[in-house]
């Protein structure tokens, strides 16, 4: 099959969160299964260019209709860790992708509407006719709309779209000008509840809703979350439309790219180790302490790696720091927040604990340090309020770092409590709590710390169970292939 991925992020070159890992990991998996895969991305000025092999301009004359005129674009081609990618580079006064960051501009909806139109125009003009276009999140929600309303009548009738939603919180609210800009026009047609009209803001369009309505199949990133969004507020206003389209909607658990995240050969950690030979993990723990100037002691290290967003349960992340210290552990955090209030809160916490020998807060995005933390920490806390899938708990398990998670979304689908629950003891791989309050968190954190201190052998066995858990792309890769075949028939 020929599959074109279209996304706003991809690991190694443009990463904010899990979306990037999934776009790369799934593309690689499909490629290894013998499919023809290519990824289309914006050519951001802040791309991590050194990760792109053989970058060169391959199409210099892409004229993308935009409002009453057109924007001239170049398209670059290059390989990222073996995956062929196309980067769309518009030459426009709007500087769509030359903002020094990926998201956060007032005109984000217009920037990615442009990207969607440009991608479709690129496929059309260069005669690329993928069997499946797989697009991701609100940024590409217009792709199936454009395909069916505009490009199918021009001959792109065979292409099918799979649309994956990684986060329902961000849906791409837009105004009527998106219709004029992209050439879709006909507000009376699109401002309809069966199409793009937003349920919450009836004067606005919702790009994610467009993706749901027009795609041939819609997925979110875990089976549990697929149920949550249909039956609770976690649908963030899309519950009704998801139920309307329930027949073409389901959850596919994300995988982890086992080549990029592999303690046996990870270039970004100083000591390699495996499930049968764990000694290197303790070398990484010492290296982590050296790197972060933490005291060397027989203490457990509890970590958090991830975006600092209200979704992630910031009050519980904060509480983990205090509780871990109370219980004689060390706490490490790597995260950043575009939200000024959350950022200020953690900056203040960083100042407060600046000289503390058992705490380190790194308020930045740092891929290399992330690897060292996964390898060197003993436990990884993920106390999310909602979590479509969550990768940090799965990556942690791969490195023998015990996840402590709240039972929501993909966390509930991947982490099974050591002491409670119905799964066979051999599948138990972490600690789970239910209520999003400090008592809930402590009920799991205290048990994890207790096991570490009092039953080190059992803690070690739990680490090995976690490492043996298969969170690779193998199963989800097959699941996506089944979906592609289903929508093609």
- Nearest CA to 263 out of 240, 282, 286 is that of 282
* Binding piece for ligand ADP, criterion CB under 6 A, among 15-23, 233-241, 294-302, 397-405: 15-23
Please report whether residue 305 would count as binding ligand ADP according to CB under 6 A: yes
Q: Report DSSP letters for 190-256, one per residue.
A: HSSTTTTB-SS-TTSEEHHHHHHHHSSEEEES-HHHHHHHHHSGGGTT-HHHHHHTGGGEEE-----
Please report whether residue 367 would count as binding ligand ADP according to CB under 6 A: yes
Shortest distance, position 256 Cβ to ligand ADP, whole Å: 9
* One of 334, 411, 441, 483 touching ligand ADP (CB under 6 A): 334
The residue (of 173 and 306) whose beta carbon lies closer to ligand ADP is 306
The residue (of 89 and 137) whose beta carbon lies closer to ligand ADP is 137
Please report whether residue 390 would count as binding ligand ADP according to CB under 6 A: yes
Shortest distance, position 223 Cβ to ligand ADP, whole Å: 16
The residue (of 48 and 365) whose beta carbon lies closer to ligand ADP is 365
Shortest distance, position 22 Cβ to ligand ADP, whole Å: 8
Shortest distance, position 424 Cβ to ligand ADP, whole Å: 26
Shortest distance, position 351 Cβ to ligand ADP, whole Å: 19
* One of 33, 175, 365, 479 touching ligand ADP (CB under 6 A): 365
Cα separation of the two ends of the chain: 13
* Binding piece for ligand ADP, criterion CB under 6 A, among 129-137, 193-201, 332-340, 480-488: 332-340
* Binding piece for ligand ADP, criterion CB under 6 A, among 54-62, 95-103, 133-141, 363-371: 363-371
The angle that helices 438-454 and 314-326 make with each other, rounded to 10 degrees, is 40
Please report whether residue 18 would count as binding ligand ADP according to CB under 6 A: yes
Token pair, residue 294, equals 């933490």
- Nearest CA to 163 out of 224, 217, 226, 112 is that of 217
CA 105 to chain centre: 20
Backbone angles phi, psi at 388, to 5 degrees: -50, -50
The residue (of 149 and 309) whose beta carbon lies closer to ligand ADP is 309
- Nearest CA to 378 out of 328, 335, 309, 437 is that of 328
Query: Do β-strands 83-91 and 69-80 pair in parallel, antiparallel, or remain unpaired?
Result: antiparallel
Please report whether residue 370 would count as binding ligand ADP according to CB under 6 A: yes
Answer positive or negative: Cα dihedral of 178, 182, 185, 190. negative
Count CB atoms within 10 A of the CB of residue 98: 14
Rounded-to-integer distance, Cα 164 and Cα 80, Å:
22
> What is residue 180's three-state secondary structure?
helix
Shortest distance, position 250 Cβ to ligand ADP, whole Å: 19
Shortest distance, position 267 Cβ to ligand ADP, whole Å: 16
The residue (of 148 and 374) whose beta carbon lies closer to ligand ADP is 374
* Binding piece for ligand ADP, criterion CB under 6 A, among 118-126, 175-183, 262-270, 362-370: 362-370
In angstroms and rounded to an integer, the radius of gyration of the C-alpha atoms of the chain is 23
Please report whether residue 330 would count as binding ligand ADP according to CB under 6 A: no
Shortest distance, position 372 Cβ to ligand ADP, whole Å: 11
* One of 392, 401, 429, 472 touching ligand ADP (CB under 6 A): 392
Shortest distance, position 259 Cβ to ligand ADP, whole Å: 14
Tell me how long the chain is. 489
Query: Which residues lie below 8 Å from residue 79, measured CB to CB, with a gap of 6+?
Result: 52, 53, 54, 85
Please report whether residue 21 would count as binding ligand ADP according to CB under 6 A: yes
The residue (of 41 and 71) whose beta carbon lies closer to ligand ADP is 41
Answer positive or negative: Cα dihedral of 45, 46, 47, 48. positive
Please report whether residue 335 would count as binding ligand ADP according to CB under 6 A: yes
The residue (of 19 and 40) whose beta carbon lies closer to ligand ADP is 19
Shortest distance, position 244 Cβ to ligand ADP, whole Å: 26
Please report whether residue 336 would count as binding ligand ADP according to CB under 6 A: yes
Rounded-to-integer distance, Cα 447 and Cα 403, Å:
12
The angle that helices 474-488 and 18-32 make with each other, rounded to 10 degrees, is 80
Query: Which residues lie below 8 Å from residue 68, measured CB to CB, with a gap of 6+?
Result: none
| CA angle, residues 189, 250, 418, in degrees to nearest 5 | 145
Shortest distance, position 384 Cβ to ligand ADP, whole Å: 8
Please report whether residue 391 would count as binding ligand ADP according to CB under 6 A: yes
* Binding piece for ligand ADP, criterion CB under 6 A, among 14-22, 174-182, 188-196, 223-231: 14-22
Please report whether residue 366 would count as binding ligand ADP according to CB under 6 A: yes
Rounded-to-integer distance, Cα 151 and Cα 144, Å:
10
Cβ contact 369:334 at 8 Å: yes
* One of 130, 210, 300, 306 touching ligand ADP (CB under 6 A): 306
List contacts with ligand ADP (CB under 6 A): 17-19, 21, 305-307, 334-336, 365-367, 370, 389-392
């Amino acid at each position: 099959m020929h599959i074109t991925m279209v996304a706003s992020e991809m690991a190694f070159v443009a990463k904010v969160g899990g979306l990037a890992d999934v776009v790369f990991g799934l593309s690689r998996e499909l490629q290894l299964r013998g499919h023809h895969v290519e990824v289309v991305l914006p050519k951001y000025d802040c791309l991590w260019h050194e990760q792109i092999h053989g970058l060169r301009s391959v199409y210099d004359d892409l004229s993308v209709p935009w409002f009453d005129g057109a924007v001239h674009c170049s398209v670059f081609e290059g390989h990222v860790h073996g995956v062929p990618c196309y980067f769309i580079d518009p030459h426009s006064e709007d500087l769509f992708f030359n903002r020094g960051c990926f998201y956060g501009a007032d005109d984000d909806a217009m920037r990615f509407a442009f990207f969607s139109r440009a991608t479709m125009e690129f496929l059309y003009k260069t005669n690329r006719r993928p069997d499946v276009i797989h697009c991701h999140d609100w940024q590409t929600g217009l792709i199936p709309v454009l395909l069916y309303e505009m490009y199918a009548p021009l001959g792109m009738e065979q292409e099918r779209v799979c649309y994956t939603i990684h986060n329902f919180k961000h849906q791409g609210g837009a105004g009527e000008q998106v219709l004029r800009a992209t050439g879709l026009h006909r507000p009376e047609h699109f401002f309809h509840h069966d199409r793009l009209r937003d349920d919450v803001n009836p004067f606005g369009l919702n790009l994610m809703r467009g993706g749901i309505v027009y795609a041939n199949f819609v997925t979110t990133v875990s089976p549990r979350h697929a149920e949550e969004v249909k039956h609770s507020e976690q649908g963030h206003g899309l519950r009704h439309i998801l139920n309307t389209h329930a027949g073409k909607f389901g959850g596919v658990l994300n995988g982890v790219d086992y080549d990029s995240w592999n303690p046996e050969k990870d270039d970004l950690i100083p000591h390699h180790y495996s499930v049968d030979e764990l000694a290197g993990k303790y070398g990484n723990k010492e290296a982590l302490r050296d790197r972060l100037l933490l005291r060397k002691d027989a203490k457990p290290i509890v970590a958090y790696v991830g975006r600092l967003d209200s979704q992630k349960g910031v009050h519980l992340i904060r509480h983990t720091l205090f509780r871990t210290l109370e219980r004689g552990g060390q706490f490490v955090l790597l995260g950043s927040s575009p939200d000024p209030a959350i950022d200020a809160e953690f900056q203040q916490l960083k100042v407060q604990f600046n000289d503390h020998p058992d705490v380190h807060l790194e308020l930045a995005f740092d891929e290399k340090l992330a690897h060292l933390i996964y390898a060197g920490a003993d436990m990884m806390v993920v106390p999310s309020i909602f979590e479509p899938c969550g990768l940090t708990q799965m990556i942690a398990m791969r490195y023998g770092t015990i996840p402590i998670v709240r039972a929501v979304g993909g966390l509930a689908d991947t982490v099974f409590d050591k002491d409670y629950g119905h799964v066979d003891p051999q599948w138990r791989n972490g600690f789970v709590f239910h209520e999003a309050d400090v008592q809930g968190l402590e009920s799991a954190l205290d048990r994890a710390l207790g096991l570490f201190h009092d039953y080190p052998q059992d803690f070690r066995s739990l680490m090995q169970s976690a490492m043996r858990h298969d969170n690779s792309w193998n199963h989800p890769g097959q699941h996506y292939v089944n979906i592609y075949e289903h929508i093609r028939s």
